[in-house]
Amino acid sequence: MATTGFWPVKGRLKDVLDYAENPDKTIDRKHLDDDLAQALRYVENPEKTDQQMYVSAINCRVEDAYSQMQETKRRYGKKGRNVAYHGFQSFRPGEVTPEECHQIGLETAREMWGDYEVVVTTHLNTDSLHNHFVVNSVSCKTGLKYHNHKKDHYRLREISDNICVEHGLSVIQNARFYGGEKGAYWVHKDGRHTHRDILKEDIEYCLSIAGTWDQFADQLRGLGYTIDWQRFSVKAKDWERAVRLDRMGYSKESIRQRLVSNINSNRFYVVWNSNLPYRPKGFPLLSIEQRLGFEITHCKRADVVILDVIFYAVLKLLNLAQDPEAQKQKVRPLSPSLRMELAKLDQIDRETRLLGKYNIHTDVDLHRFMDDTREQIALLEHDRQGFRNQLRRPKSPEIEQEIKAKRDACTEKLQPLREELRCAENILKRSEKLYEILLAEREAEKQALQRERNRERNR
pLDDT in tens, 365-416: 999 999 999 999 999 999 999 999 998 888 898 999 999 999 999 999 999 9
Q: Are residues 171 and 30 in the same domain?
A: yes
Write down which residue in 156, 189, 222 finishes a domain: 189
Residues 313 and 455 in one domain: yes
The parent domain of residue 143 ranges over: 2-189
pLDDT digits (tens, 9 = 90+) for 133-176: 888 889 998 888 887 777 788 888 888 888 888 888 877 665 55
pLDDT in tens, the chain (459 residues): 566 766 666 555 555 455 444 544 444 433 333 322 333 343 333 333 234 468 889 999 888 888 888 888 888 887 777 778 888 888 877 788 888 888 999 999 999 998 999 988 888 766 678 888 888 889 998 888 887 777 788 888 888 888 888 888 877 665 555 444 545 555 555 555 677 778 888 899 899 889 999 999 988 888 888 899 989 999 887 777 888 998 888 888 999 999 999 988 888 888 888 888 877 778 888 889 999 899 999 998 877 899 999 999 999 988 888 888 877 777 777 778 888 788 788 889 999 999 999 999 999 999 999 999 999 999 999 999 999 999 888 889 899 999 999 999 999 999 999 999 999 999 999 999 899 889 988 888 888 888 778 877 776
Which residues neighbour 323 within 8 Å (Cβ) at sequence distance 6 or greater? none
Q: Using the 3D structure, point to which of 145, 174, 189 is the last residue of a domain.
A: 189
Out of 124, 156, 189, a domain closes at 189
Domain shared by 416 and 291, yes or no = yes
DSSP class of 14? H
Instruction: Round to whole Å and give the CA distance between 354 and 447.
Output: 34
99 with 179, same domain: the answer is: yes
Which positions ≥6 away from 411 have C-beta within 8 Å?
Answer: 384
205 and 157 both lie in a single domain = no
Question: Do residues 184 and 203 both lie within one domain?
Answer: no
* Same structural domain, 79 and 175: yes
The CATH number of whichever domain residue 181 belongs to comes to 3.30.930
Domains: count for the chain: 3
Domain match, 24 and 7 both: yes
Please tell me the pTM assigned to this model. 0.55
Q: Are residues 60 and 167 in the same domain?
A: yes
Residues 330 and 453 in one domain: yes
Tell me the C-alpha distance between 362 and 364, whole Å: 5
Question: 206 with 181, same domain?
Answer: no
Do 308 and 179 have their domain in common? no
